[in-house]
Structure 1
Amino acid sequence: MKKILLFAGVFAATVTAASAQQIDLGGIGQASGTTVATIIQMFGLLTVLSVAPGLLIMVTSFTRFIIAFSILRAGIGLQSTPANLILISLSLFMTFYVMAPTFDRAWANGVKPLMDNQISQTVALERISDPFRTFMLSNVRDKDFDLFADLARERGQTVAKETVDLRILVPAFMISEIRRGFEIGFLIVLPFLVIDLIVATITMAMGMMMLPPTVVSLPFKIMFFVLIDGWNLLVGSLVRSFN
């Protein structure tokens, strides 16, 4: 539960800092610097709240999990089973499990001191982002990182891997995760494809031209996946892929 409250703590701390300043709406006509700055902070807070789910997906292991599970469902041939809610929930809890050390460091070094008014918002932001930067650097492919680093250098930016800007690291990490998700998905779909080919060959040889092979192969694919304890193998392999 502590991990789930991490981002809520960040938002609560920001709200506390913003509410500490009184907003004099009556004097907004005089373009008070404090008032304008506070209003901008409130708009920024609302913007962060609206994109918080996207931020969770971009900087964590969620992308790899949901792609693998979606390809698994398509490979078996099931349209809506397991339901999207089940796959997303499982992916989220697996993400919390894998990201637990990262969340703990971000909470202890950044969120908690900020809530206790021990550090400023700028320092807290750096401390919160450092664990996520470390996680992404340890999982991003060098080729993908070099792509965005070269693009940044073409615009005159200086790129150092240890202190790389998140605007460079996050997209590189995301395309790395998408690629790995498709690699895992290929390995998942391959045995189901073999079953489809075998069933299609048998039905064609028996002259059952009007019977779709997928109708016959579906129960065999489900039985195969259950017999090999597929969920245990897949979830364990996905979690270990981040160690």
Structure 2
Amino acid sequence: MKPRVLSIGLFAIGIALLWSPVTYAQSLPSITINGGHGTPSQTLSILALLTVISFLPAILLTMTAFTRVVTVLSFTRSALGLQQTPPNQVIIGLSLFLTFFIMEPTLSAINHQALTPYLAGHLTLLQAGKKALIPLRLFMYQQTRQSDLALFLKMGHIPPPHHLSQVPTLTLIPAFIISELKTAFEIGVYIFIPLHIVDLVVSTVLMSMGMMMVPPTLISLPLKLLLFVLANGWSLVVQSLFLSFHGGG
């Protein structure tokens, strides 16, 4: 029985192989590089656009204010002693829109210098990409500490640049990320200290009263939330983030 089934299977495969060249040769579409007037075809334009879109998450995480914003907001939630409030979705969403708000001048420059001319047909996709990178590089350079940039230039055996155009983008990006993390941690320290003082005071008072069996968080958590609300904490955190970018931070 098995040899017979195997023979039938091999015969079917052979028929399919003999028939497939004729069938596929008739169904293969022709791909053209240029359209009717010498411009890139719509198919290649869509392919290039999808390629750019696939890199947007990496660009958002590494070349914008998102890293600093989401780190500081996460520090704020941890300092309050809240594990899932606000939820991660709220933290990410708020970080995303704060990033757009903070980077509005940069995004506006990209729109005027690259996107609008490209949509009008005055620039190719490659030219638009190069022009869009200029405001992003300027933003990253302004937020990058010179010590961090010098570190990566040294590790990459790159001579000290005299102009921003001489700094490789692949060197500028990691230096920018390290600077963003350092700034976010510095802001996080200022958020943690007053809230942890509340924890320390509550623990000391409970120990002095002999209430060692009472969890300190049972008392300190409502006090920290009350202090944070009375101080208008979220507004202060957002204002500090904005000034750290646009106030010489």
TM-score (normalised: structure 1) = 0.79
Greater RCO, CA 8 A, separation 6+: 1
Residue 6 (structure 1) aligns with: none
Structure 2 stretches lacking a partner, 5+ long? 1-26, 35-40
CA contact (8 A) 2:33 2:44 kept: no
Q: In the aligned structure 2, how far is the partner of 1:75 from the partner of 1:161?
A: 41
Query: Structure 1 residues 159, 27: CA separation in 2 closer, same or farther (over 3 Å shift)?
Result: farther
Which structure 2 residues correspond to residues 1-243 of structure 1 after superposition, within 5 A?
46-153=50-157, 159-163=161-165, 164-243=167-246
Distance in 1 between residues matched to 2:28 and 2:51, nearest whole Å: 21
Find the aligned partners of 1:107 and 1:75 in 2 and give their Cα distance.
38
Instruction: Say if 1:69 and 1:87, in contact at 8 Å, map to a contact too.
Output: yes
Q: Which stretch of the first structure deviates more once superposed, 117-126 or 165-174? A: 117-126
Could you give the per-residue CA deviations for residues 200-231 of structure 1, whole angstroms, max 9, x where no partner exists? 01111122222211121000000011111111
Match of residue 18 from structure 1: none
Separation (CA, whole Å) in 2 of partners of 1:89 and 1:33:
40
**Displacement, 1:161?**
4.0
Displacement, 1:71?
A: 0.6
SS for the counterpart of 1:224 is helix
* Structure 1 contact 152–158 (Cα < 8 Å) conserved: no
- Matched positions, count: 213
Deviation at 1:48, TM superposition (A): 3.6
Deviation track 1:91-138 (CA, whole Å, cap 9, x = no partner) reads 111111111111111011111111111112222111101111111111
Report SS of the residue matched to 1:114.
helix
SS at match of 2:240: helix
Give the match's secondary structure for 2:110. Answer: helix
How large is the RMSD of aligned CA atoms in angstroms?
Answer: 2.6
Gaps of at least 5 residues in structure 1 are 1-23
Aligned to 1:12: none
CA distance in 2, matches of 1:178, 1:107: 28
1:51: how far off?
3.2
CA contact (8 A) 1:59 1:136 kept: yes
Give yes or no for contact 2:77–2:83 (8 Å, CA) kept in 1: yes
Contact in 1 for aligned 2:150/2:160 (Cα 8 Å): no
Larger radius of gyration: 2
Give the TM-score, by structure 2 length. Answer: 0.77
Residue identity in the other structure for 1:74: S
